[in-house]
């Protein structure tokens, strides 16, 4: 087994298209042990239409859908059981009691436990991250604080194919302020017949609208194309032109290396159920840069000055949270944006998934992911030409401009048959109408041999 990197992109030897080579990559993979920390759906289970326990004796399916929903960590059952046992054994005392042998802190400290692990995934300080809500709810909360339109500066810039929930959120905030999306929402798209949006085009759009723009919201990774944006460069440039900068990291969290604090990002939101593996509809997270979360007591303890936000009692400092005197004293940092007592059950599932991330680093995960995705690309393109292939990879070829996902745009009319054939072969990946298959080998639990098998089945489906 051998490969080498050229400008961060792996280059493979002549024999790399063999299954033996794929298995040799797996044998040399230092992260291979993490696969055993997950329960992968089995071929028997995905063919069954009746609720059943996981069939661990059956061969696992090939699960390349972590960009939509990650698989279940084995730790999840343990963490949920600990939470249920806490509730059933000591009831309300679970709010303040740290139990020996429990992987979880008391309920009042549980959100901080989750934030302490999540901050490492997104490259933030612990007090810049809060575990709370869901992605769109958190986006609404942060827009309420960060979007302050004026008569000259009211526009919001976003990408041409934003996830619909982001689009709806932006439209609703514009309407809330009495503005028309037709004039106050600017969509930045790719050049004609392309899917990747060049960074320079984003910067030129910022230039074009700088005098009228208040905020830019972009996805860290574009859900449809899989493009990873240059967060650092775009953030710095937009801020130099007077824009507030927010990022939707739904597809970047647990997937790309992020340095939100160092990059000076104003705010960000994410979900945790994709590459984060915290469960369907799991609790989300948000980032607020330290400079926006500061609390100023220069005018006295009873007159704190802080960035305006929609407030709730759980954002109040724990030292006064239960005084019930209606004097809001916010937690410094992102924690001060919390609203209500969070679900301990949801936090338990989130902490279970985070316990796995605590055993490695995004640097190590990203290193494997780059190789895993490059191997997928290599096999898909090998022995073909642009003219002969009935599909096009619309994800950037540069590893620095993509995460784990490759989006395959099929020729018209092929999607349904290909998707059906992959399902029959017990390969789970995501399809998006009218013709895209999104394939996302996740470094925590997917293998190079699975990539090899997928490509064989995918090409066979195209030929059928």
**Both structure tokens of 26:** 């797996």
Asked if residues 397 and 377 have their Cβ atoms less than 8 Å apart, the reply is: yes
Q: Which residue has the tokens 């612990």?
A: 126
Asked if residues 95 and 108 have their Cβ atoms less than 8 Å apart, the reply is: yes
Q: How far apart are CA 176 and CA 358, in angstroms?
A: 41
Q: How far apart are CA 37 and CA 71, in angstroms?
A: 10
Q: How far apart are CA 182 and CA 161, in angstroms?
A: 16
Binding residues: 135-136, 163-166, 248, 251, 273, 313, 341
Q: How far apart are CA 258 and CA 287, in angstroms?
A: 12
**Both structure tokens of 86:** 């806490």
CA dihedral 392, 394, 397, 399 (to 10 degrees): -140
Q: How far apart are CA 75 and CA 39, in angstroms?
A: 10
Residue 4, SS3 per DSSP? strand
Of the candidates 424, 270, 416, 460, which has an alpha carbon nearest to the alpha carbon of residue 350? 270
**Residues shown for the chain:** 464
Q: How far apart are CA 343 and CA 281, in angstroms?
A: 12
Binding residues for pyridoxal 5'-phosphate: 135-136, 163-166, 248, 251, 273, 313, 341
The 3-state DSSP composition of the chain as helix, strand, coil percent (nearest 5) reads 40, 15, 45
Of the candidates 274, 251, 224, which has an alpha carbon nearest to the alpha carbon of residue 63? 274
**Both structure tokens of 326:** 């209606």
Q: How far apart are CA 437 and CA 418, in angstroms?
A: 9
Asked if residues 138 and 286 have their Cβ atoms less than 8 Å apart, the reply is: yes
Other CB atoms within a 10 A radius of the CB of residue 3 amount to 16
Asked if residues 342 and 111 have their Cβ atoms less than 8 Å apart, the reply is: yes
Q: How far apart are CA 438 and CA 432, in angstroms?
A: 8
């Amino acid at each position: 087994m051998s490969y080498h990197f050229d400008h961060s992109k792996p280059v493979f030897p002549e024999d790399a298209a063999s299954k033996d080579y794929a298995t040799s990559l797996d044998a040399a993979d230092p992260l291979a042990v993490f696969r055993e920390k997950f329960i992968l759906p089995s071929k028997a289970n995905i063919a069954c239409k009746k609720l059943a326990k996981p069939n661990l004796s059956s061969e696992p399916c090939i699960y390349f859908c972590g960009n939509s929903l990650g698989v279940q960590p084995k730790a999840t059952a343990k963490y949920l059981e600990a939470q249920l046992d806490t509730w059933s054994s000591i009831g309300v005392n679970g709010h303040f009691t740290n139990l020996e042998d429990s992987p979880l802190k008391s309920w009042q400290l549980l959100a901080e436990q989750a934030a302490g692990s999540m901050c490492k995934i997104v490259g933030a300080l612990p007090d810049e991250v809060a575990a709370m809500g869901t992605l769109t709810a958190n986006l609404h909360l942060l827009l309420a604080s960060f979007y302050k339109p004026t008569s000259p500066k009211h526009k919001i810039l976003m990408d041409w194919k934003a996830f619909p929930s982001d689009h709806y959120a932006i439209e609703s905030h514009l309407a809330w302020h009495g503005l028309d999306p037709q004039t106050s929402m600017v969509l930045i798209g790719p050049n004609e017949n392309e899917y990747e949006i060049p960074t320079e085009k984003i910067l030129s759009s910022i230039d074009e609208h700088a005098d009228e723009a208040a905020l830019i919201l972009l996805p860290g990774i574009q859900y449809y194309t899989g493009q990873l944006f240059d967060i650092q460069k775009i953030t710095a440039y937009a801020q130099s032109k007077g824009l507030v900068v927010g990022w939707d990291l739904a597809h970047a969290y647990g997937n790309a290396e992020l340095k939100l604090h160092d990059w000076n990002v104003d705010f960000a939101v994410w979900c945790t159920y994709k590459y984060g593996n915290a469960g369907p509809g799991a609790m989300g997270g948000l980032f607020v840069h330290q400079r926006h979360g500061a609390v100023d007591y220069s005018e006295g303890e009873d007159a704190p000055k802080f960035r305006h936000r929609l407030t709730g009692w759980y954002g109040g400092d724990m030292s006064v949270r239960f005084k019930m005197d209606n004097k809001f004293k916010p937690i410094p940092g992102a924690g001060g944006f919390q609203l209500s007592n969070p679900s301990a059950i949801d936090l338990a599932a989130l902490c279970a998934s985070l316990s796995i991330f605590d055993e490695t680093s995004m640097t190590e995960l990203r290193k494997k992911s780059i190789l895993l995705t490059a191997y997928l690309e290599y096999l898909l393109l090998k022995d073909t030409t642009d003219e002969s292939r009935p599909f096009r990879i619309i994800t950037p070829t540069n590893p620095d401009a993509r995460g784990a996902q490759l989006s395959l745009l099929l020729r018209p009319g092929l999607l349904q048959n290909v998707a059906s054939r992959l399902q029959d072969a017990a390969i789970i990946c995501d399809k998006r109408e009218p013709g895209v298959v999104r394939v996302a080998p996740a470094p925590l639990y997917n293998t190079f041999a699975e990539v090899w098998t997928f490509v064989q089945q995918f090409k066979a489906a195209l030929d059928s």
